[in-house]
Every structure is written in C-alpha cells, then in structure tokens.
Amino acid sequence: MQIGLLYVILALIGSAVLTIIIKGLITKTGGNLYTHIRGGTPRAVGLAPFLVLILLFPPPGNYLIAIIGIAAFIDDLVGRTKIKGHKLEYGQLSRGIGMLLVMIIGYFYFGPVSILIALMIQPLNIADMQPGSACSTVIIMASIMLLGILALTTTIYYPILIVLAACIGYAPLDYRGRIMMGEIGNHSFGVSLGLIFASFGSIIGNYTGSGDYVTFIITLLLLLATTVLIAFIRRKNLKNFLENNYKIIQPRFGDYFMDVLTGGGFGDLFRRFIIKKKIITINNRLLILLGFRRLVHNPYSN
C-alpha cells in the first residue's frame, strides 16, 4: 500500500512538473508542436502524463500505453502531411499501426477485450478538440471506476489513482486553454481508460463466473458510456460544427454521439471506402433521432 501511494504522489507531482517543462520547451522550439490557436498554444504537452504513465502504470498495461504513445507522437510531429498520391496522412498511418499493435499485442495479455481498449482512442481523440474536455472525461470515468471497484472489493486499485493523478497534475493549463494534449496525450489516456474498464469488467466477470465474455460486454458498455459523456460535454461545440461544416440542420444528441464515436479522419476514411462518393439521405424520424445523418455523412461525396 505504501508503494502504491508513493506512485500516486509521484504521478501527480511528476505530471505537473513535466507539463510546465514540456510546455516551455515546445513554446521555444515551435514547429508542428506549436499552433497559433488562441494566440499561441503548444501541442503534444500530453507527453508529460504519457511519460508518467509508462513509468508508473503497472505492466503489461504500460506496454500498450507506450506503443500507442510513440505512434501518436509521430502523428503530432508530422502533422497533416499526406502520403504522396494518397488521401491518407502519415500521421493517420502511424496511429493506425499503433492501434493495430495495441489490439494484437494486447490480445496475448488481455484477450479479445484488447480490441475495445484500442477503440477507446477514438472518443478521447474527439474529446480533446475542446479545452478541458478530455481531462474532464478521464477524471469522471476514472472516478466512477474507482467507486465501482471499491464497491465490489476492499482492495484499492492503484492504477486508477495513478491515471487520475497524472491527469490532475496535467489538467490546470489545459482547462485554461494554455496547452493542448495532442495525440500522444489523448491516445495514452484513451488506452489507460480502456485498461481500467477491462479490469473493472474482469472483476465483475470473476464474480459472475462468466470470465472473458462479461469482461468484453462491460468494457463495451463503458466505452459507449464514455462516448455519451463526451457528446454531452461537447454538445454546444458539436452543434455548431455539424450545422456549419456538415449542414446537418438541428442536430440531435444522436448526431453528437455518432460524431464522437465515428468522427475524425479515420471515420471519414472508412466512409470513403464503404460509401464511396454516394450521398445518403436519412428521412426516417427514428434514424434521425439516433444520429444516422451524421453516421452516413460522406465528406467525399460529389
């Protein structure tokens, strides 16, 4: 218990100190890691909690965090550079490879639930498009998991406290819009939450005697709950975005949910492969309510 508490304190202090140091370094060096949004904002400061997590989060979970963090940092560094002759960006390719590696390598340690652990990257990525949203998501969901595990067992699950501490140490400047996590930050926290969800599902699976099946279902439900939370937190921004950019008139909460779950570059890339250049019009009221207008919106249509 003393070692676990020490790690939590180190995570909080380490993340706070590294955040200030990395913010200063990126501000001085500039490049792709510095954006002129809000008068100048260093990106990829999520490198601070990433370093804390790979050092203090217990193995084998930290292996998966390291894999996705490295792939995401490459994305942060190369920016929106497209592969010559293709619509795909180098950053998207790096992230895609990282997600596949998390699924494949994670399978040997955690089984099929590693797929869901990797998919947690998507909603956290969308959450990070608004100051403080990704931090709020991590803090809320990790706190719920902490209370849930304490309700099921008397054992303190320190990895949750380490993730919370790393996020809280980083968060103050993010809430003020002075820094941005970047892909390395939101991807690392996405996988971290996925690992926590899988652990919670495993505890319930052991209680019920259903094992991997219950673990997978519980993790899936928590992934969807996280998506709902992010859609709620970002609802005002998403409303403006969908109306102004995608011309979805009077978007419903289902549209916000679908944007968080399937939006971004990867989602649009899949739409390009599946829908091609077709335009699909949704008129059914129930489907509109469920967000199918956003789900089938094709930015590559004619």
| Higher pLDDT pick, 165 / 95 | 165
pLDDT for position 193: 98
pLDDT for position 80: 67
CA distance 167 to 50: 10
C-alpha distances (whole Å) from 193 to each of 58, 116, 222, 229, 292 are 14, 10, 10, 14, 27
Give 14-68 pLDDT, tens digit per residue.
Answer: 999 999 999 999 999 878 898 888 878 999 999 999 999 999 999 999 999 999 9
Average pLDDT over residues 285-296: 93
Give 201-226 pLDDT, tens digit per residue.
Answer: 998 988 776 778 899 999 999 999 99
pLDDT, the chain, mean: 91
C-alpha distances (whole Å) from 271 to each of 5, 12, 175, 264, 286 are 46, 40, 33, 11, 22
